[in-house]
Every structure is written in structure tokens, then in C-alpha cells.
Amino acid sequence: MAVIELTVPDIGDVSDAAVIELLVKPGDTIKAEQSLITIESDKASMEVPSAVGGVLKELRVRLGDKVSKGSLVGLL
């Protein structure tokens, strides 16, 4: 079975947003469009969804990490 990288999609003019909440953990079954993490920039906070479904193998971000478009969130 192939490993799929989950990345932060294009979320507008947001870069270096802080991860403020982890909504999933390794071993969880994820559905497409399910929220993975919550991030906060100086403008707003938003949830980052998964593009596809599967079982989360590894989470690559921690609370306080900074993410931007294309940042690796986890492996499915």
C-alpha cells in the first residue's frame, strides 16, 4: 500500500501559521476533507483538512510548529 503525504493546501495569503491544535493521532482512520490540525495566523485561525482518506501512519507536526502552503502534516 502506498504512503500518501498530507500537506497544507493553499490557504490564501498565510505563511508561518502556528499549529494550535492537533485533531488526529497516528492510527486514526481519516476521511477525505476531515480536519487534521488547527492553525492560527495573525489574521485568523482555520482547520487544515485531509485531501484523501486512509489510516494516519505518522503525524509530522507538533503544537507550536509553524506551517505554510506545502508543509508536511503527516503520512497516510
Per-residue three-class SS string for 10-68: CCCCCCCEEEEEECCCCCCEECCCCEEEEEECCCCEEEEECCCCEECCEECCCCCCEEC
Tell me what the mean pLDDT of segment 48-57 comes to: 95
Tell me what the mean pLDDT of segment 44-52 comes to: 92
Among 75, 64, 58, 61, smallest CA distance to 20 is for: 64
Q: pLDDT band at residue 41, thresholds of 50, 70 and 90?
A: confident
Q: What percent of the chain has pLDDT over 90?
A: 82
Q: Give me the chain's average pLDDT, please.
A: 93
C-alpha cell at 46: 482555520
Q: pLDDT band at residue 26, thresholds of 50, 70 and 90?
A: very high
pTM over 0.75: yes
Which CATH number covers residue 65?
2.40.50.100
Which domain range does residue 27 map to? 5-75
Q: How far apart are CA 23 and CA 46, in angstroms?
A: 12
Q: How many domains does the chain have?
A: 1
